[in-house]
Chain A
Amino acid sequence: GQQVMQIPQYQHVQEGEDFTTYCNSSTTLSNIQWYKQRPGGHPVFLIQLVKSGEVKKQKRLTFQFGEAKKNSSLHITATQTTDVGTYFCAGPSGTYKYIFGTGTRLKVLA
């Protein structure tokens, strides 16, 4: 069946360092979504990418959708302690469902 994998599973960075998480799908995706879940919180929708090769920025966060629409990345420039949490990607499966990746847990050391 369709799978969405994320790497790395965990990442510890010093505050100020950059961070990247990668999302890979076993099938071509019509779009991809990214979510952030703070420790003890619930997932919060960040963004959706639709076009092949699309790049979107939200302040220090840069999201990219691969040319083949099978992979995506989230890059954070100069991490801050507020970036701590787990980042999930999600790809559509059928009309309504989304399959969530396993997530990358980011820890930022001050």
Chain B
Amino acid sequence: DVKVTQSSRYLVKRTGEKVFLECVQDMDHENMFWYRQDPGLGLRLIYFSYDVKMKEKGDIPEGYSVSREKKERFSLILESASTNQTSMYLCASSLSGRSGQYFGPGTRLTVT
């Protein structure tokens, strides 16, 4: 079974802090994704990566950056956390561009 793990289930940070969210997948998947999920807004894509060191902006990239130095690891960085970035962050991976995505358990981030 595909396993996608995220570094924290719950995280509380202060406004202005730099925040790192880590995601690791163990199935040699090519593609990795970062989403945020908010009530009433569904799943929104922040960034994705289709290969090591490759990244592309999703629908809401402002205020975020990403890093993929190794195939199995995809990091989401909040350069200067703000209260409107309080959300559930979900990482996912997929074998190819047309296969199902496997999600991690999520990180619930609160920025105070």
Contact = CB atoms under 8 A, between A and B. Distances in A.
A42 B58 contact: no
Nearest to B48: A96
Given A42-B106, A45-B101, A96 B50 contact: yes
A43 B43 contact: yes
A17 B71 CA distance: 45
Contact of A43 (B45, B48, B90): B90
Contact of B42 (A33, A41, A101): A101
Interface residues of A, number: 22
A100 B58 contact: no
A97 B48 contact: yes
B103 A43 contact: yes
A31 B98 contact: yes
Interface in B37-53: 42-43, 45, 48, 50
B102 interface: yes
